[in-house]
Amino acid sequence: MPNLVANVDLTSVEVVGRLVIRSVSDNPGQPSAVKTRHSFDFPVTFPNKVLKVIEPLFARVVAEVRCEGRSGADWARVIREATDCKIMRSWCASIAWFDFSKDNSAENELTKMITPLPFGYVGDEKELEHVLGRMGYPTPADRVRQLPVAKKAINRALQRLGQPRVKINN
């Protein structure tokens, strides 16, 4: 049973277990207050049925970390490689800038790609989804439709699993 670990540039993304020791107030005169006293992270090995459910969320987090680390020049290069269409490049650049840019200057290569879309342009959402996918964008379908579909599907699948047994590694 494998662990989930990925390296993105100088960042490690891993799934670990957390043991939490907490206290909960049962005093009827006060609202229930949960106070975490200690927490410990430890490596966990997941059964295959749990891995199937967690892997899409893990892949999404890895993609988010990769996207967060891109500079404006990196984004411009990735967008140019993903599509030849100037309008689609502008659309994708504006999305990447909005979601992940840390440099909002006009001199940024990414912001230079952004031009106003033609009047009355409705766009092709399927093509946008395809290009975002080629760019390594986390869950492009969710981004296009503005709905966290992937997260909801993962949560439903985890609920159906019940309480699977995991192995704690030391």
Work out the pLDDT band at 161, boundaries 50, 70, 90: low
| Residues in the chain, total | 170
Q: Is residue 24 part of a domain?
A: no
Contact 69, 11 (CB under 8 A): yes
**Domains contained in the chain, number:** 1
Tens digit of each residue's pLDDT (9 = 90 or more) over 49-62: 878 888 888 888 89
Q: Is residue 73 part of a domain?
A: yes
- 3-state secondary structure at position 49: helix
Q: Over range 91-105, report the average pLDDT.
A: 86
Which single residue is written with the structure tokens 């030391």? 170
Residues 119 and 161: their CA atoms lie apart, in Å, by 49
| Domain around 119 | 48-164
Between 44 and 166, the more confident residue is 44
Between 59 and 24, the more confident residue is 59
CA dist list (Å): 68 to 9, 62, 65, 99: 11, 10, 5, 9
Q: Is residue 145 part of a domain?
A: yes
